[in-house]
Amino acid sequence: MQIIPAKTPDFVKTWFPNFIWNINTKKKELYLTFDDGPTPEITDWVLKTLKTYNAKATFFCIGNNIEKHPDIFNRILNGGHSVGNHTFNHLKGWRCNTDEYVEDIKKTQALIRAATSADYASHLKLFRPPYGKFKAKQSKQIQSLGYTIILWDVLSYDWDVTVSKASCLKNVITTAKEGSIVVFHDSVKAFPNLKYALPKVLDNYSKKGFSFKGLQQNRDLLIQIPELSQ
């Protein structure tokens, strides 16, 4: 059941102006994101599908999965995609203390840094909290460590087994517009819906003249966060 709306309401974005919900742009660009990988076979399927449309995306990876599947993580990087931190253990922020939460993020960031080589310093450090939830103290601390917190504009609900394939697709194509940040998952649970919806989303928006971009080197994002461009 969809409790949180597929489209994030504007008033929610206004409550949390320090988080990135979408890119402020009139350009025909979409920002697809994939959470919870790398996952054997599924992430490679996503990479192959994106490549067909010359699409770039952002992968919010779980540190534990990067550690288990370094080859897949490297294929994400070699594909020119952006990567972000999604904690090491997919922690529920509201269930753990801030030190524990931040340590989990740092452990993941060390893996990202080790794999990213010379380009690392020039890229934004992106973080998305699992479940989109964390304590205010945690979010402040994460930002003070230089992370840009990315939430979303559109939820596909691909992970929800009670949401049909058609609804998952509809959640995206009826709501995503210029600058939208769209959430998918390269996970086993989401795969039936993802496999159906992703090619159709790519096809639909390509035909409308959209391109698909990663968030890490995004100029508009730098403009949106003034302190980053200084």
In the complex, the residues that contact Zn ion under the rule CB under 5 A are 35-36, 130
Residue (of 83, 107, 87, 84) closest to 96 by Cα position: 87
Catalytic pick from 10, 35, 153, 220? Answer: 35
3-state secondary structure of 36: coil
Residue (of 5, 34, 22) closest to 184 by Cα position: 34
Q: At closest approach, how far in Å is the CB of 86 from Zn ion? A: 6
User: Is the link from the previous residue into 38 a cis peptide, with omega within 30 of 0?
Assistant: yes
Q: At closest approach, how far in Å is the CB of 159 from Zn ion? A: 8
Query: Residue 25 or residue 36: which is nearer to Zn ion going by CB?
Result: 36
Query: In sequence order, what DSSP letters do the residues of 44-58 get, joined into one string?
Result: HHHHHHHHHTT---E
Residues 83 and 20: their CA atoms lie apart, in Å, by: 15
Q: At closest approach, how far in Å is the CB of 106 from Zn ion? A: 18
Q: Quick check: is 35 catalytic?
A: yes
Report, as residue numbers or ranges, the catalytic residues: 35, 185
